[in-house]
Amino acid sequence: MRNVYIVTALLVVLTLSLLGLRGTKFTSPPMDVFPEWAFPGMKYQPKYKHQGSSEFFADGRADRPLPPGVVPANFGPLGHALITDDHMADGRASDGSFAQGFPAGVEMNHEFLRQGRDSYVIYCAPCHGALGDGNGITKQYGMGATPTYHDGRLRDIAEGDLYNTIANGKGNMLSYADKLTVNERWAVVAYVRALQRAQQGSAADVPAAHKSELGIK
Ligand code: HEC
């Protein structure tokens, strides 16, 4: 008789442990069976959290101020400080209007376009689409207002204006200044131009050696 109680109790425990808490969401971390000192791993690393406190520093703050004399790297909005060429830094001509063409500091070559494509695929294609037609994946999730690059206005727009949209955002589009360096932004502008050009190809663009393959005279 006693065995029946024990077996029943075990079965109840087994059932509960297998099924009892299924689907429950826990907010506190799980209990550790093995103590921290026995299995130190990546799970246990001393670290400071943002705006946390620290007993190590005299002012008690974990966030450290910049050491004196430090200047921001050529990255993000503050990076402008290091670039004296307005065209390069802001996409502006000397009269403050958006500059046409690429700044003198930009060296246009295959590698630069490739770099632009890499950034474009990561940061722009989700909305603007791989072809720049505004049909990115976000459209399927209800974001329908992303424009195509292949309309007359954006084909004719100054390079500096494209740069400005990337650097400062426009309307519903956020700035990418914290994601792309000044140089990377220009590389993306170049790639946007390449995408636009790709949609306007004509028979005249086909190299002579390939014309016959396509049946072009
Ligand atoms: C989260 C979605 C999203 C991402 C990512 C995005 N854009 Fe946009 N983009 C928009 C939307 C929405 C607009 C329309 C903004 C408006 O006019 O309100 C826009 C507008 C533009 C325009 C037209 C600006 C004009 O003058 O009318 C350009 C050019 C552009 N984006 C380039 C880019 C580039 C380059 C990237 C990547 C660095 C990028 N966008 C990333 C959503 C996005």
With helix as H, strand as E and coil as C, how does the chain read? CHHHHHHHHHHHHHHHHHHHCCCCCCCCCCCCCCCCCCCCCCCCCCCCCCCCECCCCCCCECCCCCCCCCCCCCCCHHHHHHCCCHHHHHCECCCCCECCCCCCCCCCCHHHHHHHHHHHHHHCHHHHCCCCCCCCHHHHHCCCCCCCCCCHHHHHCCHHHHHHHHHHCECCECCCCCCCCHHHHHHHHHHHHHHHHHCCCCHHHCCHHHHHHHCCC
**Which of 27-36, 40-49, 82-91 has the highest mean predicted lDDT (pLDDT)?**
82-91
Q: Is the pLDDT score of 78 beyond 60?
A: no
pLDDT band at 144 (very low <50, low <70, confident <90, very high): confident
Share of the chain above pLDDT 90, in %: 58
Decide if domain 77-200 falls under CATH 1.10.760.10: yes
pLDDT score of 75: 52
What distance in angstroms lies between residue 7's CA and the mean position of ligand 1's atoms? 66
pLDDT score of 109: 96
pLDDT score of 193: 97
Q: Is 145 in the pocket of ligand 1 (CB under 6 A)?
A: yes
Arithmetic mean of pLDDT, 109-137: 97
Backbone angles phi, psi at 53, to 5 degrees: -105, 160
pLDDT score of 76: 47
What distance in angstroms lies between residue 128's CA and the mean position of ligand 1's atoms? 7
Q: Is 188 in the pocket of ligand 1 (CB under 6 A)?
A: yes
For residues 17 and 4, which has the higher predicted lDDT (pLDDT)?
A: 4
CA dist., res. 144 & res. 155, Å (int): 21
For residues 111 and 82, which has the higher predicted lDDT (pLDDT)?
A: 111
pLDDT band at 71 (very low <50, low <70, confident <90, very high): low
pLDDT band at 136 (very low <50, low <70, confident <90, very high): very high
Arithmetic mean of pLDDT, 115-137: 97
Q: Please, which contacts does 197-202 make with residues 24 or more away whose CB atoms are closer than 8 Å?
A: 198/131, 199/131, 199/132, 199/133, 199/150, 200/150, 200/155
pLDDT band at 175 (very low <50, low <70, confident <90, very high): very high
Closest CA to 181 of 64, 98, 67, 82: 82
Which residue has a Cα nearest atom 34 of ligand 1?
124
**Cβ–Cβ under 8 Å, residues 192 and 134:** no
Q: Is the pLDDT score of 63 beyond 60?
A: yes
For residues 71 and 198, which has the higher predicted lDDT (pLDDT)?
A: 198
Assessment of whether the complete model's pTM goes beyond 0.85: no
Q: Is 168 in the pocket of ligand 1 (CB under 6 A)?
A: no
Q: Is 164 in the pocket of ligand 1 (CB under 6 A)?
A: no
pLDDT score of 157: 97
pLDDT band at 42 (very low <50, low <70, confident <90, very high): confident
What are the residue ranges spanned by the domains of the chain?
77-200
Q: How far out from the chain centre does Cα 196 lie?
A: 22
